[in-house]
């Protein structure tokens, strides 16, 4: 990761189906670079079950908007040529590109096949609720519109489970019965076994499936000149395969090939166990931190901010945590809806953007818009990323010692002589905290740059100052003598 790097997730669920996202992102490249964005996580680029699908109902991973399939050439986001031009432009500005890789399942089969299954209890997948029966499952994938890149054809033997019987119209979770198939054991144990998520579930214990998916990973990385991947739904995918997948890509493209996994689980011990199984070879999104922020936003003054970082991945494995406030899965209307309330969102972003640990991810919906409605947080988030880029360096001193007012100081470093920042967050009344910024700063005047506080503070001869924060707000302080940031008028963003 680049020092003080920031990842941006450049999509949300409600983007219009106009096929222009790749072109829009290409046009934004220079502005993102100037802002301080060092990597972009792009949505699934493959052909999905329909043109308007966000990409998670994956049909053909080799069709990047190149072939006439599913009544379209382009995907929701554009065509392959636009996709490649966009990545080239981002690379001109030294912005890395991470592709969202959806490998757990396939959808929109070309035809149904007849095979035997046994229905399982959806809340305890190890328990059968029916006898072996024959169904017509949607498992035949021949990709008649695509004529290159891969000759692999999928059939029922390549899947462990399906959720639909075309013959009867019945929906459920059906374990494929044949060739001694079982759910993979190297998955999350929620619902007894969480191998199956949706559609036709890939069988990563099948050697041909594992080989084909590794082949695809190498092909798409080379085809698009990717710098890394965001691995979707890995709690449902055989962890042994993920290990082999990453080994193969790094053997081909180098150890610097980046990977972050989406393992949606609040329990940090489960995330630690997963990292250990994979020899800490990838990052994980810090879902526990997200839920701490969610609880803090809902509970307001009754939440003990001193516990904000407790039980989080970033507190235990700071080099493996991708910190985020919200994303497409947590935003309103999603299946995992847990959106941080608006009043607390600026403070939550200040936490992940200014602290030393973690790799922060900025959500498109928070920075740009949701469903076309411009985000009210855009100006303050722009300011916080700017502060990170210019000032958030050096060791960190934490002051998580009060239930309603917490913060930290970044002491700065020699390589960035203007660096150093103090952050305070309040979920109650007006707050203050005496914090140390360094004896060498004695006499410096520090100003607050979000527009919440107009008066300056002066660092005393011992290197301390009393910093302030308004009730229910955040305050970000930097040295006025070195500042290239002017204090912001709160009315421009709140």
- Number of Cβ within 10 Å of residue 134's Cβ equals 12
Q: Catalytic: which of 232, 329, 339, 444? A: 232
CB atoms within 10 A of CB 115: 19
> CB–CB of 308/283 below 8 Å?
no
Residue 58 contacts residue 48 (beta carbons within 8 Å): yes
**Measuring CA to CA, how many Å separate 128 from each of 120, 134, 137, 195, 360?**
4, 15, 18, 15, 43
Task: Give yes or no: 136 in active site.
Answer: no
Q: Are 427 and 296 in contact (CB under 8 A)?
A: yes
Judge whether 489 counts as a catalytic residue: no
Our CA angle for 72, 201, 211, nearest 5°, is 85
The C-alpha R_g of the chain, in whole angstroms, comes to 24
Task: Give the number of other Cβ atoms within 10 Å of residue 170's Cβ.
Answer: 13
3-state secondary structure of 229: strand
Annotated active-site residue in 110, 136, 223, 262:
262
Cα–Cα distances (Å) from 148 to 5, 39, 46, 64, 152, in that order, read: 37, 30, 15, 12, 10
Provide the 3-class DSSP secondary structure of residue 188.
Answer: coil
Nearest Cα to Cα of residue 453 among 466, 431, 469: 469
Q: Contact, 301 vs 308, CB < 8 A?
A: no
Q: Which residues are designated catalytic?
A: 232, 262
């Amino acid at each position: 990761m680049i020092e003080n790097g920031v990842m941006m997730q450049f999509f949300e669920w409600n983007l219009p189906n106009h096929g222009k996202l790749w072109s829009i992102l290409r046009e934004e490249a220079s502005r993102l670079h100037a802002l301080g964005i060092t990597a972009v996580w792009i949505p699934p680029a493959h052909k999905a079950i329909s043109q308007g699908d966000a990409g998670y109902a994956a049909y053909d991973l080799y069709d990047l908007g190149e072939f006439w399939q599913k009544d379209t050439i382009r995907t929701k986001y554009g065509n392959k040529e636009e996709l490649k031009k966009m990545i080239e432009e981002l690379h001109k500005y030294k912005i890395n590109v991470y592709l969202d890789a959806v490998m757990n399942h396939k959808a929109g089969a070309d035809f149904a096949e007849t095979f035997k299954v046994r229905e399982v209890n959806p809340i305890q997948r190890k328990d059968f609720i029916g006898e072996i029966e024959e169904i017509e499952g949607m498992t035949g994938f021949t990709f008649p519109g695509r004529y290159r890149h891969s000759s692999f054809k999928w059939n029922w033997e390549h899947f462990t489970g399906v959720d639909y019987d075309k013959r009867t119209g019945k929906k459920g979770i059906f374990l494929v019965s044949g060739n001694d198939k079982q759910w993979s054991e190297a998955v999350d144990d929620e619902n007894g076994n969480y191998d199956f998520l949706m559609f036709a579930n890939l069988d990563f214990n099948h050697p041909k499936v594992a080989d084909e998916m590794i082949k695809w990973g190498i092909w798409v990385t080379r085809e698009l000149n990717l710098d890394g991947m965001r691995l979707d739904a890995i709690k449902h995918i055989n962890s042994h395969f993920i290990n082999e997948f990453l080994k193969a890509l790094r053997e081909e493209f180098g150890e610097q090939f980046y990977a972050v996994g989406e393992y949606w689980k609040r329990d940090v011990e489960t995330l630690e166990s997963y990292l250990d199984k994979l020899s800490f070879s990838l990052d994980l999104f810090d879902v526990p931190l997200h839920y701490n922020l969610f609880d803090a936003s809902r509970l307001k003054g009754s939440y003990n901010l001193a516990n904000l970082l407790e039980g989080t991945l970033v507190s235990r494995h700071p080099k493996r945590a991708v910190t985020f406030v919200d994303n497409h899965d947590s935003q309103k209307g999603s299946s995992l809806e847990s959106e941080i309330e608006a009043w607390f969102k600026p403070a939550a972003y200040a936490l992940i953007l200014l602290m030393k640990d973690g790799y922060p991810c900025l959500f498109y919906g928070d920075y740009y818009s949701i469903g076309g409605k411009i985000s009210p947080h855009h100006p303050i988030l722009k300011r916080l990323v700017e502060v990170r880029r210019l000032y958030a360096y050096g060791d960190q001193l934490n002051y998580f010692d009060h239930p309603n007012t917490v913060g930290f100081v970044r002491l700065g470093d020699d390589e960035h002589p203007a660096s150093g920042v103090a952050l305070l967050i309040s979920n109650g009344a007006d707050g203050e905290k005496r914090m140390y910024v360094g004896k060498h700063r004695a006499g410096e005047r520090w100003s607050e740059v979000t527009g919440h506080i107009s008066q300056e503070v002066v660092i005393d001869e011992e290197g301390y100052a009393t910093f302030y924060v308004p009730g229910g707000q955040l305050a970000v302080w930097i040295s006025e003598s070195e500042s290239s940031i002017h204090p912001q008028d709160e009315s421009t963003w709140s």
